[in-house]
Amino acid sequence: MGYVISQSELESVWQVVFSGRVDAESFHTAVNEELLAASRNNIKGILVDFRQANAVMSTMEAYELGKRVASMPEFRTIRIVFLYRSGKELDGMFLETVAANRGIPISIYKDRDKAMKWLSGRSRGGRIVKDAG
């Protein structure tokens, strides 16, 4: 697994781009690094891009990760988007549901422009957004 954390085109939004195989533990390691970077830089949103990755998590691992994310107070003020390629968005829906049910502002998109609009606060809507494509 590899990932790169960088600032997006929006000043207060960072992006984390994953590639290769991503399991629950490597994702948790990346989340901890993201939180540290976000807390030091007044970040308001994180785009987690899985379009180049192969996420491999069991239902129980997704549940536990959702609980872990929700237990971190830093995530209560940061909007999070999971970006998946078409046909793979179901991989993150359970984790997203677990975290959202615990008050984390989180959503799933396939379209990067729509995801960035949601992260910027210019779009509201349900937790799971089904885009075309």
Query: Residue 113: helix, strand or coil by DSSP?
Result: helix
Would you report the helix, strand and coil content of the chain in percent, each value rounded to 5? 40, 30, 30
Residue 92 lies in a domain: yes
The boundaries of the domain holding residue 61 are 2-119
pLDDT in tens, 11-23: 788 888 999 988 8
Q: Is 117 exposed, middle or buried (0-12, 13-18, 19+ CB in 10 A)?
A: middle
Residue 130 lies in a domain: no
pLDDT in tens, 56-82: 778 888 888 888 878 877 777 888 888
Residue 131 lies in a domain: no
Which residues, in sequence order, are CB contacts of 73 under 8 Å at separation 6+? none
User: Residue 25: which CATH number?
Assistant: 3.40.50.10600
Q: Structurally, how many domains does the chain consist of?
A: 1
pLDDT in tens, 5-56: 887 887 788 888 999 988 888 887 887 787 777 777 778 888 989 899 887 7
Residue 23 lies in a domain: yes
Residue 83 lies in a domain: yes
Whether the CB-CB separation of 39 and 77 falls below 8 Å is answered with no
